[in-house]
Amino acid sequence: MPFLAGVKAASPQKSTAGDVAACDTYIQAMKPMNIHTLALSALAGSLAITPASATEHEVGEFGHLLDACYASATDAQARQACIGAMSTVCMDQDGGQTTLGMSSCLNAEAEVWDALLNKEYKGTRAWMTAADADEAEYFPDFARRAETLLAAQRAWIVFRDAQCDLAFALWGSGSMRSIAWADCRMQITADRTLELRSMREAFE
């Protein structure tokens, strides 16, 4: 369930103007990174977003929780249950309920999902490339799974950025805007990771 589903419009606990400013600075730094550091040629083999230094501590301290959950999950439902597990534990720590704390925890989980997305994309693209090769001799017009996946992933990146910009804009000047953006980025990246895996599992 999205983190913000049960959050009212009130500001998080003990947030300060400095917290909000720091979150906004982080978000503005991350926005251009999302697309512009991903050259289209690189999309063919890797789609992870470079982790930002602002969340490196949280990734290092709590990232193993999500990695372990995902690795041990035996089906799609179990993998779905991993979403939010890491950031929830992170927010239970001292300072985790401030605007900056919640944003950092959500961004940290998003970074771990980015890495998982990269692995699932590579796995699914490899499966599609092999399937295309098998079909190309007799049905070349239909052997276009891998190239279509690339086009879809390019479009998904644009959608992700626009959707999370909208989540940010909806809160106007409210301090929840940074949390909304981070939560959107985490949720949408996790969902896409699971979707990429399910594409090939449906045929295995």
Residue range 104-129, pLDDT digits in tens: 999 999 999 999 999 999 999 999 99
- Per-residue pLDDT, averaged over 34-51, amounts to 34
Residue 111 is assigned to a structural domain of this protein: yes
* CB burial of residue 181 (10 Å; 0-12, 13-18, 19+): buried
Residue 83 is assigned to a structural domain of this protein: yes
Structure tokens at 192: 């896409």
Mind giving me the DSSP string for the chain? --GGGG--SSPPTT--HHHHHHHHHHHHHHHHHHHHTS-HHHHTT--PPPPPGGGHHHHHHHHHHHHHHHHH--SHHHHHTTTTHHHHHHHTSTTTTSHHHHHHHHHHHHHHHHHHHHHHHHHHHHHHHHHHHHHHTT-GGG--HHHHHHHHHHHHHHHHHHHHHHHHHTTTTSTHHHHHHHHHHHHHHHHHHHHHHHHHHTT-
* CB burial of residue 71 (10 Å; 0-12, 13-18, 19+): exposed
**Position 72 pLDDT exceeds 70:** yes
**Position 77 pLDDT exceeds 80:** yes
- Per-residue pLDDT, averaged over 80-89, amounts to 95
Residue for token pair 């999370």: 164
**Position 51 pLDDT exceeds 90:** no
Tally Cβ neighbours within 10 Å of residue 49: 22
Residue 196 is assigned to a structural domain of this protein: yes
**Confidence at 40, pLDDT banded by 50, 70, 90:** very low
How high is the mean pLDDT of the chain? 80
State the Cα–Cα distance between residues 86 and 62, nearest whole angstrom. 6
Residue 179 is assigned to a structural domain of this protein: yes
Residue 15 is assigned to a structural domain of this protein: no
**Position 81 pLDDT exceeds 70:** yes
Residue 61's domain spans which residues?
51-201
- In sequence order, which residues have a C-beta less than 8 Å from that of residue 81 and are 6 or more positions away? 69, 73
Residue for token pair 């992933």: 153
**Position 56 pLDDT exceeds 70:** no
**Number of domains composing the chain:** 1
CATH number at residue 110: 1.20.1270.180
Residue range 159-204, pLDDT digits in tens: 999 999 999 999 999 989 999 999 999 999 999 999 999 999 998 7
pLDDT computed for residue 175 by the predictor: 87
Asked which of 41-45, 76-80, 144-148 is least confident by mean pLDDT, the reply is 41-45
Residue 140 is assigned to a structural domain of this protein: yes
